[in-house]
Structure 1
Amino acid sequence: MKITSELTSSGTLKFSQLAIEKNKKGERIISLGLGEPSFSTPELIIDETIKAMKSGFTKYSHSMGLISLRELIKEKLLKENNIQTDVKNIAITAGAKQAIFFALMATLEPFDEVINITPSYVSYIPQIKLAEPTAIIHNIDLIKKDFSVNIQAIKSLFQKRNIKVIILNFPHNPTGKMLNSDEFLELINILKESNCYIISDEIYERLNFSGEKQLSFGAFDEIANRVITINGFSKTFSMTGWRIGYVHAPSQISDIIFKISQHINTNVTTFIQKGACAAFNLENIYLQKFNSELEEKSKILINIINSNDKLFINRPLGGFFGFLNIAKLKLDSDSFAHLLLNKKNVATTPGVSFGENWNDHIRISLVANKDEFQEGIEKIVELVNEEF
């Protein structure tokens, strides 16, 4: 049996498509589903991209990406993440999603074992299976009460099994969790005693309204030669449709990614790479404003949701999402999301899309404009009051 026959559609895109169909019929839909900013790509990036097209940046680039962009990423990694590196260890990819897939292809061999922290981004498990169909996946749930990391379960698994790869994603999709300092150091202590590769998906790192900096695993010398850092431009700069991300990896992995890239897509569109260079010239005020808006909506979310004793949500501290606990409703997440869309025209994503043990949650996106976001959250509470 081909592994592709086992693939399922993305849960996030499934409900987005249902919402689009209703919208085509003239119905007004409040979208709290996808992690796509409501504002446009900054004009500076658009202008530089058009300029690049007119200046001849329409040919092939190096398969690892333009040196100019990789130099900027190198500077960023040192300044913001305390990761010292070389441009040869950085590859530009068609989005962070492709960066994750390339990292998995470069690390996994038959019957290798992978730790995946759940709930998890919907593409991690399918990508593991596509990269290595025989891989053994160990899903370890966050602790439901407060989304704390189950350190003991991770430690126990490392003691019992030969783990090849662990995927970590903080700020976290779908919960909005940030690692606290104790969790971070406990993970470092476990990982430094192992030989596994750490794929650190840091796509939401700049979207942080916790008041504390989220450290990068690649900054720690004890494990740095096994850390593969994933990042991109889609979320921070509203470039979701541009498809540009990057991966930073130790030489033994970046050399393999170089070869993979040559045979998969040759290079990321050259003028898009030039446009992405402009993102590094945007003032910090841009990010401060974005984070301030996300923080404000996170407070609206918990104030409205937690006023209803049948619902509960932990306040998101980073990223684009909150993860709503609907366990008291005694209804599975898929059914609730359908009911919400059909009765109130509010689109969300069922928690089961992020792990089989999370069928009592739904994911809520924070990126709609504030008024629409608040209306959508109020409609969730209305539905619960009317139907439950």
Structure 2
Amino acid sequence: MKTTSITQRLAGLGGAKWDLHLAARDRAEQGEDIIEMTIGEPDVPIPDVMVEQAIAALQAGRVGYSNGRGENNLRDALAELYTKRRGRGFDRDNVLCFPGTQTALYAVMQGVAEQGDEVLVGDPLYATYEGVIRSTGAEMVSVPLRPEHGFRMQAEDVAARITDRTRAILLNTPHNPTGAILRPEELQAIAALALKHDLWLISDEVYEDLVFEGSTFLSPLALPEIADRTIAVASISKSHAAPGMRSGWAVGPKSFCDALLPVSETMLFGNQPFIADMTAAAVREGSPVAEGMRNRFARRATYLSDRVEAETPLRVHRPEAGMFALIDVSPLGMDNESFAWALLDQQGVAVMPGSSFGAYMGDWVRVALTVEDDALTRAVDRICAFARLRAAAE
């Protein structure tokens, strides 16, 4: 039977990017000694207080249909949070709630692009971005994020790729997979391009609460000159170690939220009330686990970098936020896929090939910093041993 064009546009963009991760997990289940450093799973469980809040909401019968925009208590909590953090006023009409950042981003993209349009996005990029863009019928246009600029998007690279078909720029700051954070002057230069060319600016900010000490995050939502063309998406998945609860949102102009509401209602008709109640409390009370994750991930990134760069020819890109670090494997004369599979086969360490995150990551692999410290030590031992053997064989 014939399937629709969306299935053809998304063909090859699903699980194939995660083949190595799935292979590593299969080997671990068969009893092999595998250290898994592939996906961005928080290294702590969801806080007990959030579980208790969700159970209390369930017991209170909060399982009916939701408002298509999301529950008002959650939208109010998010408006308060964004007013405090962004330095300008928001209210519930600036918020739509969704089950996770992914769904929010999918819906938002449906509202800004369609067949024949183009959306600019930094490369490397989170693995699902191409899919959410191509699902609309639009084409993804890659903007290279260069190592010499710390993998931060540069306005001149954006400007060189804007055409009369461009409708939006998709930002991810703090960035996955690189952990880079746009500097204020870089963000303002990109915002100026959005104004000049009448573009939407979409900002995935799910790692905002995992910014390391010494680094500063600025959201485009804090720039009043582009307030009418900026939409941010986020969730509690990373900040509150609750990826499985699927609770996210989009924040933007009231007019945009009004226009997108029928899309949201068609998809899901609001988020689950008992999860919304839990999320509203979590947003108001703040995360009890974010600070610990920030400190651990920063410390682990430093440990990985110090040892790998001291003991091997490899070099590490040190993140400013998030859950990952990048290793440049090109000094070994290997591409990212060959390195990642050989490391898994020979040392039992699973890292993600950079090619899973775009065309400009051929020299890099992504390493999750979410394993326990003793596992990290063993993994670094194995990575260093592998690299030394490869270097000696060159």
Shared fold by TM > 0.5?
Answer: yes
Structure 1 residues 14-163: aligned runs within 5 Å:
14-132=19-137, 135-145=138-148, 146-158=150-162, 160-163=163-166
Structure 1 residues 154-173: aligned runs within 5 Å:
154-158=158-162, 160-173=163-176
* Change in CA separation of 1:83 and 1:348 when aligned onto 2, cut-off 3 Å: farther
1:189 aligns with 2:192: yes
Q: Tell me, in whole angstroms, the C-alpha distance in 2 between the residues paired with 1:300 and 1:161.
A: 46
The answer to which of 66-75 and 278-287 deviates more is 278-287
Partner of 1:358, secondary structure, is coil
Partner of 2:299, secondary structure, is helix
Partner of 2:340, secondary structure, is helix
Q: Tell me, in whole angstroms, the C-alpha distance in 1 between the residues paired with 2:141 and 2:17.
A: 22
Query: CA contact under 8 A between 1:93 and 1:246: conserved in structure 2?
Result: yes
Q: Which amino acid aligns with 1:224?
A: A
**Residue by residue, what CA displacement relative to the aligned partner does 1:67-115 show, whole Å, maximum 9, x if unpaired?**
1111111111011222422212211111101111101001113211211
Q: Tell me, in whole angstroms, the C-alpha distance in 2 between the residues paired with 1:250 and 1:229.
A: 10
- 1:271 is matched with 274
Q: Tell me, in whole angstroms, the C-alpha distance in 1 between the residues paired with 2:247 and 2:288.
A: 23
Q: Tell me, in whole angstroms, the C-alpha distance in 1 between the residues paired with 2:234 and 2:340.
A: 30
* Change in CA separation of 1:307 and 1:203 when aligned onto 2, cut-off 3 Å: same
CA positional deviation for 1:379 = 1.5
Q: Tell me, in whole angstroms, the C-alpha distance in 2 between the residues paired with 1:326 and 1:210.
A: 27
Aligned pair partner of 2:343 in 328, 340, 352: 340
Q: Which amino acid aligns with 1:253?
A: F
- 2:220 is matched with 217
Q: Which amino acid aligns with 2:74?
A: L
* Change in CA separation of 1:8 and 1:239 when aligned onto 2, cut-off 3 Å: same
CA positional deviation for 1:373 = 2.0
Percent identical across equivalent pairs?
Answer: 26
Partner of 2:313, secondary structure, is coil
Query: CA contact under 8 A between 1:105 and 1:131: conserved in structure 2?
Result: yes
* Change in CA separation of 1:15 and 1:252 when aligned onto 2, cut-off 3 Å: farther
The answer to which of 9-18 and 75-84 deviates more is 9-18
**Residue by residue, what CA displacement relative to the aligned partner does 1:185-228 show, whole Å, maximum 9, x if unpaired?**
32233333231001100000110004232111011111110001
* Change in CA separation of 1:61 and 1:3 when aligned onto 2, cut-off 3 Å: closer
CA positional deviation for 1:51 = 0.5
Aligned pair partner of 1:378 in 378, 381, 385: 381
Aligned pair partner of 1:241 in 241, 244, 260: 244
- 1:298 is matched with 301
Query: CA contact under 8 A between 1:175 and 1:316: conserved in structure 2?
Result: yes
Aligned pair partner of 2:234 in 228, 231, 236: 231
Q: Tell me, in whole angstroms, the C-alpha distance in 2 between the residues paired with 1:224 and 1:283.
A: 25
Query: CA contact under 8 A between 2:183 and 2:218: conserved in structure 1?
Result: no
Q: Tell me, in whole angstroms, the C-alpha distance in 2 between the residues paired with 1:65 and 1:124.
A: 24
| RMSD between aligned residues | 1.8
Q: How many residues align?
A: 385
CA positional deviation for 1:12 = 5.6
Q: Tell me, in whole angstroms, the C-alpha distance in 2 between the residues paired with 1:281 and 1:55.
A: 20
Q: Which amino acid aligns with 1:296?
A: R
Aligned pair partner of 1:312 in 305, 312, 315: 315
Q: Which amino acid aligns with 2:252?
A: A
Q: Tell me, in whole angstroms, the C-alpha distance in 2 between the residues paired with 1:285 and 1:179.
A: 26
**Residue by residue, what CA displacement relative to the aligned partner does 1:229-282 show, whole Å, maximum 9, x if unpaired?**
011000111111111111012233212331112111222222111121231354
Partner of 1:334, secondary structure, is helix
The answer to which of 164-173 and 146-155 deviates more is 146-155
Query: CA contact under 8 A between 2:77 and 2:284: conserved in structure 1?
Result: no
Q: Normalising by the residue count of structure 2, what TM-score does the alignment of the two structures yield?
A: 0.92
Q: Tell me, in whole angstroms, the C-alpha distance in 1 between the residues paired with 2:308 and 2:349.
A: 15
**Residue by residue, what CA displacement relative to the aligned partner does 1:152-195 show, whole Å, maximum 9, x if unpaired?**
1212333x544211000011100111112332232233333231
Q: Tell me, in whole angstroms, the C-alpha distance in 2 between the residues paired with 1:324 and 1:221.
A: 37
CA positional deviation for 1:143 = 1.3
Structure 1 segments of 4+ aligned residues over 6 angstroms from their partners = none
Q: Tell me, in whole angstroms, the C-alpha distance in 1 between the residues paired with 2:325 and 2:201.
A: 25
The answer to which of 14-23 and 184-193 deviates more is 184-193
* Change in CA separation of 1:192 and 1:374 when aligned onto 2, cut-off 3 Å: farther
Query: CA contact under 8 A between 2:100 and 2:249: conserved in structure 1?
Result: yes
Q: Normalising by the residue count of structure 1, what TM-score does the alignment of the two structures yield?
A: 0.94
Partner of 2:266, secondary structure, is helix
